[in-house]
Amino acid sequence: MELLELFLKSIFIDNMVFATFLGMCSYLAVSKKVSTAVGLGAAVIFVMLVTVPLNYLLDQYILRPGALVWLGEDYGDVDLSFLTFILFIATIATMVQLVEMIVEKFAPALYNSLGIFLPLIAVNCAILGGSLFMQQKEFNNITEATVYGVGSGIGWFLAIVAIGAIREKIRYSNVPPVFRGLGMTFILTGLMAIGFMSFGGMLTGGDEAPKKEVVENVTPAEAVEVNEVATDSTALETVTDSLTQTVQE
Amino acid sequence: MSTKRTDSNGYTIIFSIVMVVVVGSLLAFFANFTKDLRVKNDQVKAQIDILSAIGVAADRSNATEMFAQYIKEQKVITGAEVSDDDKAYLIDVKKEMDAAKKGNTQRLPLFVAEKDGKTLYIMPVRGNGLWDAIWGYIALNDDLKSINGVYFDHKAETPGLGANITESFFTEDFKGEYIYDASGNFKGIEISKSNGDPNNKDKSDNQVDAISGATITGNGVGAMINSGIKSYLPYFETLKK
Amino acid sequence: MANANVEKEPLFSKKNLGLVKDPLTDNNPVTVQVLGICSALAITAELKASVIMALSVVFVLGAGNVLVSLLRNAIPSSIRIIAQLVVVAALVIIVDLTLKAYVPDLAKKLSVFIGLIITNCIIMGRFEAFALGNGPWKSFLDGVGNAAGYGLILIIVGFFRELLGSGKLFGYPVFGDPVNKTGLYATGYENNGFMLLAPMALITLGLIIGFQRSRNKNLIETN
């Protein structure tokens, strides 16, 4: 059950886009379409699945203070944590390269549809961020770390697809010129992030605390309740319509 | 363009090796150079936090001095054994709790302080807030029945809501609160929304007024205090005799 | 490349100064080029954190640009990206260690985001677009300019978030004491705690972009 809770938490509550805005640059600059968002998101999930557990092992057995104990007792004092950034990014760059080669060989159709995104992913903040947050959270075993990694990837995927869908639709709305495009995207992402905060009520807290509903002091701009991230167009249209109407006021 | 010397495999390999060696040594040197300062920073932080539980405001420049001045004894309780340990304040509570989950005996650090002629007992506690871990120190008066002061900190609570457990308007409420009820049963502290005592005048209700909008964090604080103090109760019984 | 007879450009020529000034306005890496947002927004709840982050990026991009520029003819083309990554990562590690040693409380809050400077698109972007093809002094100016443009946005967002969200600037209360209701709070003003939450950083940024485009109509996107 804890794993399921961790999984859901990393998708909806610690969502890498809406809680910490990771990985948005390349996406925002590159595309306004849902299809590219889906491709990019899929690639991210895959890379997270591969890199987070690997970096977890690196952290446990090499980087942590005292991690080198398995080499011998006298190595227990060694603290290599300062090498974290460099080793993590090296792992990520290498794994992305490997994944690219494997996908090209065994699934050329997938390789073609992912196109340029796969190499771009190595420098995507979301991937490095996922590993760094994993290190900070100090998981007990590799399963938890992997669940967190995959969950974060899925959360990122959902967020990017949702933003892409709204961006596609909003081109047909009357956005004030100064906000057209980038400005509106940021405001919208902010509003969606507020919506995602409502997921905080899913959590249970404290060891002996009863499961209560959290009513945080939040008044969203309009009561847009995002119960699931709806990827079907009708739900998104409703959201878009209500949002654009507000903007026009 | 003619093939540059820099494109040959041999050159690439040599370049890579040189790069790794240079960067590695540079970073190792720098890490070593700053290590003492970084380690000291962590130690000083622990000292500042412990002192703040008994209402002594120290900063990084005088923390070690004041720690030595106020904290008279540091003990480690391991099951039935009690030993003195002047590094007790460096014990990693999270590690101890994880070890206890695996069946090992948890090492419980205890700090005996003296302030204004009174003996105070300070212990670390740790628990879960809404988003991530919360922790702190609880200081008990010499009667071992009421709280002298508290210090709380958190990893990722919501700013303005759960994060306010660190603020004095919350921590002050704990001063003088009894952890036992009138019949002498251990009650701990309940962070309550409905205690009807928002200014916390009643110190024997075993309750502290909650922070609005921070229910789960508050519940986490209550659970943390209770389970934390419970582990020390057997030792306190021996002290009371 | 350059002919030995070409006059050396003065250090602070108009063109060189332009390298520093442009990113501060018309070519701002965050609001115009849309780079480097990642590691920025989550930490701007406090002005102090924003300033430290801005300075860190100035150091990493400035020094990084110079290093890459100096090494540009020596880096083997097959490991170009890796070499750049190593340079950035090493510089970021130095910044991280320095922060942990000298401002430990802030370093704890910023920890992950300092690491994310490595993947900050602005840095790799400038390496590729400028440092690999220009001399060290120009690269230095370009680096500092772009980092300053990025830092400027961070500081503006941090300014509004801390001021409106907690009534403080740099940790010093500006409007009075919210608990005891002195100063501005006596009139009934309350801190807008919402500004401290993550989404407001995005919305503030959107508003800044709107404001910038209202002053420079060239930046307005045509659908």
Which residues of chain A neighbour C81 with C-beta distances below 8 Å? Answer: 93, 122
C168-169/C172-173 β-pairing: antiparallel
Rounded to an integer, the average pLDDT of A85-96 is 87
Residue A149: pLDDT above 90?
yes
- Provide the pLDDT for residue C63: 93
pTM: 0.78
Which band of pLDDT confidence, cut at 50, 70 and 90, is reported for residue A214? very low
> What is the token pair recorded at B159?
């700013």
Residue C58: pLDDT above 90?
yes
- In chain A the first and final C-alpha atoms are separated, in Å, by 46
Element (H, E) at B46: helix B9-53
> Does residue B234 lie in a domain region?
yes
Q: Give the alpha-carbon dihedral of C167, C170, C174, C176, to 10 degrees.
A: 70
* Model confidence pLDDT, tens digit, residues B137-156: 999 998 888 899 999 998 87
Picking from A132, A181, B221, B162, the residue whose alpha carbon sits closest to that of residue C197 is B162
Greatest mean pLDDT among B146-150, B201-205, C32-36, C77-81: B146-150
Which of A93-97, A199-203, B186-190 shows the lowest per-residue confidence on average (mean pLDDT)? A199-203
> Does residue B34 lie in a domain region?
no
Which residues of chain A neighbour C223 with C-beta distances below 8 Å? Answer: 171, 180-181
- Chain C partners (3+ C-beta pairs within 8 A): A, B
Return the sign of the alpha-carbon dihedral for residues B161, B166, B172, B174.
Answer: positive
CB B156 within 8 A of CB B145: no
- Provide the pLDDT for residue A6: 86
Which residues of chain B neighbour C166 with C-beta distances below 8 Å? Answer: 159-160
Task: Report d(CA C2, CA C90) in Å as an integer.
Answer: 31
Residue A245: pLDDT above 60?
no
B207-209/B190-192 β-pairing: parallel
B133-140/B107-115 β-pairing: unpaired
CB B108 within 8 A of CB B231: yes
Picking from B95, B76, B94, B77, the residue whose alpha carbon sits closest to that of residue B85 is B76
Tell me the C-alpha to C-alpha distance, in Å, between residue B200 and each of A235, B173, B226, C20, C86. Answer: 48, 6, 19, 57, 56
Q: Is B156 on the interface with C (CB under 8 A)?
A: no
Task: Report d(CA B49, CA A247) in Å as an integer.
Answer: 48
- Cα B138 from chain centroid? 9
DSSP conformational letter for B186: B
- Provide the pLDDT for residue A51: 92
> Does residue B50 lie in a domain region?
no
Instruction: Write out the residue range of the structural domain in which residue B170 sits.
Output: 72-240
Q: What is the mean pLDDT of chain C?
A: 82
Distance from CA of B2 to the nearest CA of A (A): 28
Which of A72-86, A92-106, B74-88, C103-117 shows the lowest per-residue confidence on average (mean pLDDT)? A72-86
CB A127 within 8 A of CB A157: no
> Does residue B139 lie in a domain region?
yes
Element (H, E) at A208: none
Distance from CA of C169 to the nearest CA of A (A): 23
Which band of pLDDT confidence, cut at 50, 70 and 90, is reported for residue A223? very low
ipTM of the shown complex = 0.77
Which residues of chain A neighbour B33 with C-beta distances below 8 Å? Answer: none
Residue B123 amino acid letter? M
- Provide the pLDDT for residue C56: 92
* Model confidence pLDDT, tens digit, residues A154-187: 999 998 888 888 888 888 888 888 888 788 888 8
- Provide the pLDDT for residue C51: 92
> Does residue B38 lie in a domain region?
no
CB B140 within 8 A of CB B147: yes
Instruction: Pick C173 or C96 by higher pLDDT.
Output: C96
Picking from A101, A100, A131, A130, the residue whose alpha carbon sits closest to that of residue A117 is A100
> What is the token pair recorded at B237?
């019984």
DSSP conformational letter for B180: B
* Percentage of the residues of chain A whose pLDDT score is greater than 90: 10
> What is the token pair recorded at C9?
């450009």
Return the sign of the alpha-carbon dihedral for residues A6, A11, A12, A13.
Answer: positive
Element (H, E) at A121: helix A117-121
Residue A231: pLDDT above 50?
no
* Model confidence pLDDT, tens digit, residues B110-135: 999 998 888 999 999 999 887 778 99
Residue B219: pLDDT above 70?
yes
Q: Do B128 and A208 touch (CB under 8 A)?
A: no
Greatest mean pLDDT among A11-20, A239-248, B16-25: B16-25
Q: Is B97 on the interface with A (CB under 8 A)?
A: no
Residue B165 amino acid letter? I
Which band of pLDDT confidence, cut at 50, 70 and 90, is reported for residue C114? confident
Rounded to an integer, the average pLDDT of C122-151 is 87
Q: What is the mean pLDDT of chain A?
A: 75
Q: Do A215 and B213 touch (CB under 8 A)?
A: yes
Find the closest chain A residue to B192 by CA distance. A209
* Count of structural domains, chain B: 1
> Does residue B44 lie in a domain region?
no
Q: Is A215 on the interface with C (CB under 8 A)?
A: no
> Does residue B1 lie in a domain region?
no
CB A214 within 8 A of CB A199: no
Q: What is the mean pLDDT of chain B?
A: 85
CB A99 within 8 A of CB A109: no
Residue C202: pLDDT above 80?
yes
Q: What is the DSSP string of C28-54?
A: -TTTTS--S-HHHHTTTTSHHHHHHHH
Task: Report d(CA B16, CA A29) in Å as an integer.
Answer: 32
Task: Report d(CA C114, CA C53) in Å as an integer.
Answer: 7
Reduced to 3 states (helix: H, G, I; strand: E, B; else coil), residue B82 is strand
B207-209/B71-78 β-pairing: unpaired
Picking from A114, A152, A129, the residue whose alpha carbon sits closest to that of residue A25 is A129
Entry field: residues in chain C: 223
Residues 103-132 of A with CB under 8 A from C: 122-129, 132
Q: Is B31 on the interface with C (CB under 8 A)?
A: yes
* Percentage of the residues of chain B whose pLDDT score is greater than 90: 12
Residue B196: pLDDT above 60?
yes
Which residues of chain C neighbour A13 with C-beta distances below 8 Å? Answer: none
> Count of CB atoms within 10 A of residue C104's CB?
17
Which residues, in sequence order, are CB contacts of C154 under 8 Å at separation 6+? Answer: C40, C44, C50, C51, C53, C54
Which of B55-59, B174-178, C20-24 shows the lowest per-residue confidence on average (mean pLDDT)? C20-24
Tell me the C-alpha to C-alpha distance, in Å, between residue A22 and each of A152, A159, B9, B146. Answer: 11, 11, 36, 46
CB C40 within 8 A of CB C30: yes
Which band of pLDDT confidence, cut at 50, 70 and 90, is reported for residue A201? low
Which band of pLDDT confidence, cut at 50, 70 and 90, is reported for residue A246? very low
b/e sequence A31-46, b meaning 16+ C-beta within 10 Å: bbebebbbbbbbbbbb
Which residues, in sequence order, are CB contacts of A13 under 8 Å at separation 6+? Answer: A19, A196, A199, A200, A202, A203, B131
Task: Report d(CA A110, CA A244) in Å as an integer.
Answer: 36
> What is the token pair recorded at C8?
């050396």
> Does residue B56 lie in a domain region?
no
